[in-house]
């Protein structure tokens, strides 16, 4: 858990490992599949299964990243958590308190807290940061279909954060018309990867990018996924996870980032 291969961040940090599937976006969870193979958690993945806290050495990593960023003057982004959910009810509150202290000790790092439980975020953030959310915390919600957009979009916008963002990955359907007041600062878009990937029509992504760009949001097109489609047909020249940008429609070759603190 160090330098990240995820294109929209610099590092990944997991203070603990383990989660429960609660969204259509979780159906082909890469973290659960890796846990089954690697045995990170003692009893497996899911509700009622204990989450496992990572090592103290791992918890010290962000301090080193912050020190390097302070020397270079270049801020770094940290995706937290890729193998868990910060706002998981089954993760101990004490671990979130420790995470908050780590965030406060690393002001040169922008912490990207992405959740599928945005309804828990306000309450838990108030407990984590009783003096107010620091500027180096970004709050994101996973939005994979229109139901999640209408349910979780307002919850995200009601959560105080300097940067609010969506991860529309995997994008499972056309999100349709989006109320302007629900569009966040930044939107990550991507098709699903892996052997059981569900298709993504590139028209869904093109529509979402147009709506977000018109509203002033920054957009990061991550990948087309393993099964990109165009009007129901197989998309030509797709390889791997659809990450070869030169093969994308020009309208999708967009990788923007929000301003840092």
Whole-model pTM?
0.94
What is the per-residue pLDDT across 106-143, written as a single tens digit (0 to 9) for each? 999 999 999 999 999 999 999 999 999 999 999 999 99
225 Cβ contact partners less than 8 Å away, ≥ 6 residues apart: 170, 190, 191, 192, 193, 197, 199, 200, 241, 242
- What is the per-residue pLDDT for 117? 98
- Token pair, residue 100, equals 């908050």
Q: How far does CA 249 lie from the centroid of its chain?
A: 24
Cβ atoms 192, 169 nearer than 8 A: yes
Per DSSP bridges, beta strands 228-230 and 200-201 are parallel
Confidence band (pLDDT; 50, 70, 90) for 2?
low
Nearest-Å Rg of the Cα atoms of the chain is 18
Q: Determine the average pLDDT of the residues in 21-30.
A: 95
């Amino acid at each position: 858990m160090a330098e990240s291969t995820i294109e929209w961040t610099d590092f990944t940090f997991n203070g603990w490992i383990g989660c429960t599937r609660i969204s259509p976006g979780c159906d082909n969870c890469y973290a659960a599949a890796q846990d089954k193979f690697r045995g990170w958690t003692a009893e497996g993945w899911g509700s009622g299964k204990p989450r496992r806290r990572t090592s103290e050495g791992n918890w010290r990593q962000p301090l080193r990243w912050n020190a390097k960023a302070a020397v270079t003057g270049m801020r770094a982004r940290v995706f937290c958590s890729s193998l868990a959910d910060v706002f998981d009810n089954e993760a101990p509150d004490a671990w979130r308190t420790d995470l908050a202290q780590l965030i406060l000790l690393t002001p040169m790092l922008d912490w990207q807290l992405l959740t599928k439980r945005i309804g828990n975020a306000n309450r838990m953030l108030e407990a984590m940061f009783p003096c107010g959310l620091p500027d180096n915390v970004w709050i994101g919600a996973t939005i994979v279909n229109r139901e999640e957009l209408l349910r979780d979009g307002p919850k995200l916008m009601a959560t105080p954060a300097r940067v609010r963002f969506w991860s529309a990955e995997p994008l499972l359907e056309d999100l349709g018309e989006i109320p302007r007041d629900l569009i966040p600062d930044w939107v990550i878009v991507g098709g699903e990867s892996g052997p059981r990937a569900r298709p993504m029509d590139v028209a869904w992504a093109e529509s979402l990018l147009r709506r977000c760009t018109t509203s002033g949001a920054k957009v990061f097109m991550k990948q087309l996924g393993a099964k990109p489609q165009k009007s129901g047909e197989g998309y030509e020249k797709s390889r791997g996870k659809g990450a070869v940008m030169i093969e994308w429609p020009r309208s999708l070759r967009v990788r923007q980032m929000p301003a840092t603190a």
